Amino acid sequence: MLTRMSMASTAGAIRVEGLEKSFKDLKVLRGVDIEVARGSIFALLGSNGAGKTTLVRILSTLLRADAGTATVNGFDVAAQGADVRESISLTGQFAAVDEILTGRENLVMVAKLRHLKDPGAIADDLLRRFSLTEAGGRRVATYSGGMRRRLDISMSLIGNPPVIFLDEPTTGLDPEARLEVWQAVKELAAGGTTVLLTTQHLEEAEHLADRIAILHEGRIIVNGTLAELKQLLPPAKVEYVERQPTLEDVFLTLVGARKNGENQ
């Protein structure tokens, strides 16, 4: 694993050139180019149906592109699928966890499928990191949406894959759970993992991403840092407005989410 990572370390973690994909007559991707640097967080913004999920599915070898090339961790997604799968983890839009198993059993199963030693210890460590130790012995069917998402993301971390795809990781989560997920993503990137995340929430991209690309009608129309993107608009003018707390501020203060967030 280590040799593989260092072998490929000269290339970008993700490199996509001229990628096209159609479903029957519908052109979903019309020539997408992106490059994601190692250890960075790259946000792919776009409205529903913009093709974000299609792109992620192609990069994680679940779907074949019609044209163009894509490499992940230096491996071609079309020709070296097995090597790509060895290098990635995918967290899809819906928490892909086994409801009938317990949280711990889910983690142990994934650790075994990644052919790792001591799956039990790996599971216990992740349960601790994601504050699921107490819930670990319960069936996932009893978990809240936020707990499922946390379990889902922790399953993606098993085996420390160098590249992680998060497809709308906070969709359907309450504000507290969203902050927890953000925290987890930041920690990942701090540890050197490359994260490609798709989102519809502009705020999420603003908070997390080193670079942001906007996918619109099958093409990347903008790609840059937040500062670069902001320069696309006329310079900010100074206005004085009374700042009211947003509903989110009120909600988070009342339920004490800020405090919990600090504890973690």
**Taking contact as CB under 8 A, which single stretch among the options 59-67, 170-178, 209-217, 247-255 is the one that binds other proteins?**
59-67
Given a contact cutoff of 8 angstroms between Cβ atoms, the answer to whether 50 and 239 are in contact is no
**Taking contact as CB under 8 A, which single stretch among the options 67-75, 91-99, 176-184, 238-246 is the one that binds other proteins?**
91-99
Binding mask 171-210 vs other proteins (x if CB under 8 A, - otherwise)? Answer: ----------------------------------------
Whose Cβ is closer to other proteins: residue 132's or residue 163's? 163
Euclidean distance between CA atoms 33 and 106, whole angstroms: 35
Q: What residues contact residue 51 under an 8 Å CB cut-off, 6+ apart?
A: 21, 28, 29, 32, 215, 218
DSSP secondary structure, 124-188, as one string:
HHHHHHTT-TTGGGSBGGG--HHHHHHHHHHHHHTT--SEEEEESTTTT--HHHHHHHHHHHHHH
Whose Cβ is closer to other proteins: residue 90's or residue 214's? 90
**Taking contact as CB under 8 A, which single stretch among the options 3-11, 100-108, 169-177, 194-202 is the one that binds other proteins?**
100-108
Euclidean distance between CA atoms 257 and 181, whole angstroms: 13
How near is the Cβ of 226 to other proteins at its closest, in Å? 29
Whose Cβ is closer to other proteins: residue 123's or residue 214's? 123
DSSP 3-state assignment of 49? coil
Token pair in block for residue 156? 């993606």
Whose Cβ is closer to other proteins: residue 64's or residue 230's? 64
How near is the Cβ of 81 to other proteins at its closest, in Å? 9
**21 near other proteins, judged by CB under 8 A:** no
Please pick, from the candidates 50, 72, 95, 257, the single residue that binds other proteins as defined by CB under 8 A. Answer: 95
Whose Cβ is closer to other proteins: residue 11's or residue 116's? 116
Strands 67-72 and 41-45: unpaired
Enumerate binding residues for other proteins (CB under 8 A): 60-64, 82, 85-86, 88-90, 92-101, 105, 109-110, 112-115, 139, 155
